[in-house]
Structure 1
Amino acid sequence: MTLAMLTHAFLAVIRADEHREHPAPAGLIPLTCNEMQRLFALPAAYPNDQRDHRLRWSLWRRRRQARARDCHYRRREATT
């Protein structure tokens, strides 16, 4: 349990540094701790061809989540 909490704290600190130094481009959500965990696991778990696919999948997922967030915010503004 302690190791899991330490890992999550490590990812949270890295995520905060990344947000401050390199904000997310327009159309993408910022990196989350879960997304960073997936990306850190890539080099050990997958060969190069699957690693490229996983990185593209991560970008696609972040773009789709940003689009969903924007639609949600527009819908909330329209109802108030």
Structure 2
Amino acid sequence: MTNPEQLRTEIERTRAGLGGTVEALAAKTDVRTRARRAAVDLRERARRSPSVRRYGLPAAAAVLLAALAVVIVRRR
């Protein structure tokens, strides 16, 4: 049989391990935070892309104008 101090040590190790497991599971189920992180990551990758830097503003303007044209056509 083990002594009480060994049992306490083993219990503390088990608690620490379970605590880490619970935190990892909670992080995986936090959809909002995961989506925000993914959006930030995607935004950063897009900013570093040479094609986005080169065509970013003109492309955004073209999309905005196309959306505006759709709104105007639908209102008529």
**TM-score by structure 1 length?**
0.35
**TM-score by structure 2 length?**
0.36
Determine which structure has greater relative contact order: mean sequence separation of CA pairs < 8 Å that are 6+ residues apart, divided by chain length.
1
Between Structure 1 and Structure 2, the one with more helix by share is 2
- Larger Rg, first or second structure (1 or 2): 2
